[in-house]
């Protein structure tokens, strides 16, 4: 009993001490000293410590770092008054730039200089930015050939700590290249070597470009086997007025070398055979420095995938000058595996941190993998509402560990947009859409869309949760009401088709690249306003389709919105009309689709897509009662040189095949993202009434008169423009049929969404 009383007394005393300490360290007010141009509310917005908090040294230190990072202050000190309980941040403001002036500039306008320099008016002065601004001015003048330009600065600071910054520019003389002499070259002509250079006769002389030219010449020779090549320091001679310059280069080409032997030393994780397969440079090939560098990078990458970030690879070159042979020994120092210590995510404003963190394939404490990190960045970027994703690796808190910091730049997740266009089939089309890709900061997607036109009306609402129940599983709900004016044979406006329905889908992701999708659709289809010209083939009516679709998807694309590499393969099966599903129609419909994306050079991407489909009735159900479920080829999504539903039987086909290839290239880029693309494309396809009708030979215009045109494949070629908007991509395509009917002409398509 006495022990219990003693314990209670000690506990009460300890609690009282904590309360007394907390009260003694409680902050009664937070104040700033030294503010001149920075408003108090702006300063307080950058600190976490508030009135009523208990003084905490770590929190205050973090506040100081945050204040310094704003760029407003040169120095920040903190004082906590024990008597008044005031927390005072004593700051030394940087001067506020009131005005930037340029004097002496005649060749470049003040507006151009003001636009290019780093320092800006109504911002705070920074010495580093001043240095960068002077460097930028030098570069601008150097690009125009004024190599002797001088740039000085003058700062006038008033009593309000506002600075009037003056750039004093002394423009040099423009220097032009008079002559470029090249000596010592034997294997390659002066004309060939000059073609590598930007420094040419009658062109403006820029010294930094001449240095780049020397590197290009050196690389040119070494990439063609001349390992010993040497390019002399250029002789540069100015005329008396320093307006013309003569340049002389001397080249020692040396011998042509071939690779004699390739060996490895120090490798334990991977065998010599495994490493040799990685190499782009091979035995008996001509020595190539660029390919050697690529080979070294390949070794680094395979080791980095297994956590060996401390790897060192040094090629040891042994020459046999008599035989013109080179032996390469890769000296490999593997070092220890590196583990992930901490993963930090910064830059988030409206997005919950878990939204980004759950896309990261690496975990704290596991072996670092460069492949997993690269794929993680792709998955984060594929969220769709981020403008930029960067990663920085820093040493961790323990030996052989690394911290990963992922920096996010958020874009605008919500957007209201409107658009209009015209196509040769749909005529006037337009849309009004509200889309939010990051609802509540949880990456939930909401889309409200209204499409309208002379031949279509569409209302649609959809919502997607990418991590249903906090599992890697998407949930999608959609409601839609679509009316389309349909063609039938040669009748342009044969009937109207209305689809009203509800769609539910659940998509569990079973691995990094594989996922399943299970969908249920409840849809009413109504056929009405049937033209008297087609009443023998089309009847008015309304039918309910209740169907279940299962799908397996493999997706390795680097960017789901604009892929540059990878593939997407899918197999789906739709079942309608089983007893448990109900409905008025019964069929099964398997579809196979495969898309491949191959980077070629720079950001040019070659892509291929193949689609195969089949539909058959269940329990003898007649598919002619549901012609709208059959396959129709022709139009903006299949073979673009033909009108919608032009290829194949008028009643639609049971079998469908479509092949597309596109070669896309960037036209306009912004923030490393392509916003305007060009595309060249080729389409091939057809649909058939039965398998027995399928013919994979190419049709011709003459076949139209022989009544065998429908059963042959048709081709189309064309070009297009792709616009990337914050909400959806827009496609404009101009296409020509290679096997047209007599009445066919060029087709123009205005479409929302990617082709594949």
- 93, 101 in Cβ contact below 8 A? no
Tell me which of 115-119, 326-330, 682-686 is least confident. 115-119
Q: For residue 264, is pLDDT > 60?
A: yes
Per-residue burial over 336-365, b = 16 or more CB atoms within 10 Å of its CB, e = otherwise = eebbbbebebebbeebeeebbebbbebeee
CATH of domain 339-410: 3.10.20.310
User: What average pLDDT does range 233-248 have in this prediction?
Assistant: 88
- The model's confidence at residue 727, banded by pLDDT at 50, 70 and 90, is low
pLDDT per residue over 344-368, tens digit each?
999 888 999 999 999 999 999 999 9
User: What average pLDDT does range 715-740 have in this prediction?
Assistant: 86
**What is the Cα–Cα distance from 237 to 220, expressed in whole angstroms?**
26
Query: Angle between the 289-304 and 207-222 helix axes, to the nearest 10 degrees?
Result: 90
User: What average pLDDT does range 106-115 have in this prediction?
Assistant: 90
Dmax (CA) of the chain: 113
**What is the Cα–Cα distance from 705 to 713, expressed in whole angstroms?**
16
Q: Please give the structure tokens belonging to residue 690.
A: 């039965």
Tell me which of 166-170, 413-417, 583-587, 613-617 is least confident. 413-417
Alpha carbon dihedral 469, 472, 477, 478, in 10-degree steps, equals 160
Per-residue burial over 622-631, b = 16 or more CB atoms within 10 Å of its CB, e = otherwise = ebeebbbbbb
Q: Which residue has the tokens 């022989």?
A: 706
Beta bridge partners of 164: 99, 156
**What's the confidence (pLDDT) of residue 14?**
47
pLDDT per residue over 170-188, tens digit each?
887 888 899 999 999 999 9
pLDDT per residue over 621-664, tens digit each?
999 999 999 999 998 899 999 988 888 888 899 999 999 999 99
What pairing do the DSSP bridges indicate for beta strands 427-439 and 605-614? unpaired
Q: For residue 17, is pLDDT > 60?
A: no
Q: Report how far apart, in Å, the C-alpha atoms of 347 and of each of 64, 124, 385, 734 are.
A: 18, 22, 13, 42
Write the CB contacts of 336 (distance below 8 Å, at least 6 apart in sequence). Answer: 308, 310, 400
Half-sphere exposure of 235 (CA within 13 A, CB side): 10
| Domain 258-333 grouped into CATH 3.40.30.10 | no
What is the strand order of the sheet 386-395 is part of? 339-346, 401-410, 386-395
Q: Please give the structure tokens belonging to residue 497.
A: 């088709």
**What is the Cα–Cα distance from 221 to 228, expressed in whole angstroms?**
9
User: What average pLDDT does range 605-613 have in this prediction?
Assistant: 97
Measured between alpha carbons, how far apart are the two ends of the chain, in Å?
79
Q: Report how far apart, in Å, the C-alpha atoms of 297 and of each of 109, 249, 318, 747 are.
A: 45, 32, 21, 47
Q: Please give the structure tokens belonging to residue 615.
A: 């539909």
Higher pLDDT, 231 or 675: 231
Q: Please give the structure tokens belonging to residue 460.
A: 């649609």
What is the average pLDDT value for the chain, to the nearest integer? Answer: 89
Write the CB contacts of 195 (distance below 8 Å, at least 6 apart in sequence). Answer: none
Q: Report how far apart, in Å, the C-alpha atoms of 353 and of each of 349, 373, 389, 419 are.
A: 9, 17, 14, 34
Beta strands in 529-653 (DSSP E): 541-555, 566-576, 587-599, 605-614, 616-617
Beta bridge partners of 595: 568, 609
User: CA angle at residue 430 from 426 to 435, to 5 degrees?
Assistant: 130
**What's the confidence (pLDDT) of residue 260?**
95
pLDDT per residue over 383-432, tens digit each?
988 888 999 999 998 999 999 999 999 888 877 777 776 666 667 778 88
**What's the confidence (pLDDT) of residue 83?**
78
Pick the CATH number of 27-93 from 3.10.20.310, 3.20.20.70, 3.40.50.2020, 3.10.20.30: 3.10.20.310
**What's the confidence (pLDDT) of residue 590?**
98
Q: CATH 3.10.20.310 region(s) of the chain?
A: 27-93, 96-170, 176-252, 258-333, 339-410
| Domain 630-756 grouped into CATH 2.40.160.50 | yes
- The model's confidence at residue 50, banded by pLDDT at 50, 70 and 90, is confident
Closest CA to 578 of 630, 629, 520: 520
**What is the Cα–Cα distance from 4 to 382, expressed in whole angstroms?**
61
Q: For residue 22, is pLDDT > 60?
A: no
Q: DSSP assignment of 492-556, as one string? A: EEEEEEEEEEEEEEEEEB-SSSEEEEEEEEEEEEEEES--TTSTTT---EEEEEEEEEEEEEEE-
φ/ψ of 293, rounded to 5, equals -65, -40
Q: Report how far apart, in Å, the C-alpha atoms of 351 and of each of 260, 442, 460 are.
A: 57, 6, 26
- The model's confidence at residue 742, banded by pLDDT at 50, 70 and 90, is low
Superfamily of segment(s) 176-252: membrane protein fhac (3.10.20.310)
**What is the Cα–Cα distance from 296 to 291, expressed in whole angstroms?**
9
Element (H, E) at 325: strand 325-333
- 554, 568 in Cβ contact below 8 A? yes
Q: Would you give the DSSP letter of residue 95?
A: P
- 568, 595 in Cβ contact below 8 A? yes
**What's the confidence (pLDDT) of residue 723?**
86
Q: Which residue has the tokens 């139209």?
A: 704
- Max avg pLDDT among 16-20, 210-214, 435-439, 589-593: 589-593
User: What average pLDDT does range 253-267 have in this prediction?
Assistant: 95
**What's the confidence (pLDDT) of residue 266?**
95
CATH class of the region 96-170: alpha beta
Q: Is 563 exposed, middle or buried (0-12, 13-18, 19+ CB in 10 A)?
A: buried
């Amino acid at each position: 009993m006495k022990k219990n009383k003693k314990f209670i007394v000690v506990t009460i005393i300890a609690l009282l001490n904590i309360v007394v300490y907390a009260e003694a360290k409680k902050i009664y007010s937070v104040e700033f000293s030294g503010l001149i141009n920075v408003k108090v509310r702006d300063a307080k917005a950058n600190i976490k410590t508030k009135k009523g908090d208990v003084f905490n040294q770590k929190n205050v230190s973090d506040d100081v770092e945050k204040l310094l990072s704003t760029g407003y202050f040169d120095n920040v000190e903190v004082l906590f008054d024990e008597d008044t309980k005031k927390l005072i941040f004593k700051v030394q403001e940087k001067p506020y730039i009131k005005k930037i002036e340029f004097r002496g500039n005649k060749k470049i306008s003040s507006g151009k200089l003001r636009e290019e320099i780093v320092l800006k008016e109504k911002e705070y002065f920074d010495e580093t930015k001043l240095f960068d601004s002077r460097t930028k001015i030098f570069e601008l003048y150097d690009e125009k050939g004024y190599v002797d330009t001088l740039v000085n600065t003058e700062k006038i600071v008033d009593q309000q700590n506002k600075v009037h910054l003056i750039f004093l520019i002394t423009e040099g003389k423009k220097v032009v290249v008079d002559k470029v002499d090249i000596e010592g070259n034997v294997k390659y002509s002066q004309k060939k070597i000059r073609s590598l250079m930007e420094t040419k006769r009658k062109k403006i002389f820029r010294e930094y470009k001449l240095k780049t030219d020397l590197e290009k010449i050196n690389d040119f020779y070494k990439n063609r086997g001349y390992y010993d090549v040497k390019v002399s320091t250029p002789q540069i001679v100015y005329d008396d007025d320093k307006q013309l310059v003569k340049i002389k280069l001397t080249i020692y080409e040396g011998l042509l070398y071939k690779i004699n032997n390739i060996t490895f030393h120090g490798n334990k994780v991977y065998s010599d055979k495994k490493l040799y397969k990685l190499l782009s440079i091979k035995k008996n090939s001509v020595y190539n420095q660029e390919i050697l560098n690529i080979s070294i990078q390949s070794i680094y990458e395979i080791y980095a995938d297994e956590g060996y970030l401390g790897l060192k690879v040094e090629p040891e070159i042994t020459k046999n000058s008599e035989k013109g042979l080179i032996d390469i020994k890769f000296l490999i120092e593997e070092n220890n595996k590196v583990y992930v210590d901490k993963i930090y995510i910064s830059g988030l404003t409206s997005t919950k941190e878990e939204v980004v963190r759950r896309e990261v394939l690496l975990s704290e404490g596991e072996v670092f993998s460069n492949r997993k990190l690269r794929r993680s960045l792709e998955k984060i970027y594929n969220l769709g509402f981020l403008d930029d994703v960067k990663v920085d690796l820093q040493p961790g808190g323990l030996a052989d560990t690394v911290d990963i910091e992922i920096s996010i730049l958020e874009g605008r997740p919500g957007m209201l947009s409107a658009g209009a266009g015209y196509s040769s089939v749909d005529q006037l089309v337009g849309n009004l859409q509200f889309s939010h890709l990051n609802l509540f900061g949880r990456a939930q997607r909401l889309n409200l869309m209204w499409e309208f036109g002379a031949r279509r009306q569409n209302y649609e609402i959809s919502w997607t949760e990418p991590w249903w129940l906090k599992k890697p599983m998407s949930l999608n709900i959609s409601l839609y009401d679509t009316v389309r004016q349909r063609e039938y044979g040669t009748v342009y406006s044969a009937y109207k088709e209305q689809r009203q329905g509800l769609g539910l889908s659940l998509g569990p992701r079973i691995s990094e690249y594989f996922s399943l999708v299970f969908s249920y659709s409840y849809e009413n289809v109504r056929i009405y306003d049937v033209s008297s010209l087609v009443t023998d083939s089309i009847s008015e009516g309304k039918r309910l389709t209740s169907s279940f679709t299962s799908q397996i998807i493999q997706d390795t694309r680097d960017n789901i919105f604009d892929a540059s590499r990878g593939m997407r393969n899918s197999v789906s099966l739709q079942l309608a009309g089983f007893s448990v599903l109900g409905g008025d129609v019964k069929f099964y419909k398997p579809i196979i689709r495969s898309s491949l994306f191959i980077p070629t050079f720079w950001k040019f991407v070659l892509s291929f897509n193949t689609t195969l489909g089949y539909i058959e009735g269940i329990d003898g159900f007649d598919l002619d009662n549901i012609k709208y479920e059959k396959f129709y080829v022709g139009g903006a999504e299949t073979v673009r040189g033909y009108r919608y539903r032009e290829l194949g039987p008028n009643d639609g086909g049971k079998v469908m095949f479509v092949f597309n290839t596109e070669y896309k290239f960037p036209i306009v880029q912004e923030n490393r993202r392509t916003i305007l693309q060009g595309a060249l494309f080729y389409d091939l396809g057809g649909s058939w009434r039965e398998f027995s009708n399928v013919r994979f030979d190419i049709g011709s215009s003459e076949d139209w008169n022989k009544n065998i045109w429908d059963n042959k494949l048709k081709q189309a070629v064309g070009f297009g423009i792709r616009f990337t908007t914050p909400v959806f991509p827009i496609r404009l395509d101009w296409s020509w049929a290679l096997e047209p009917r007599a009445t066919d002409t060029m087709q123009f398509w205005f479409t929302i969404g990617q082709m594949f």
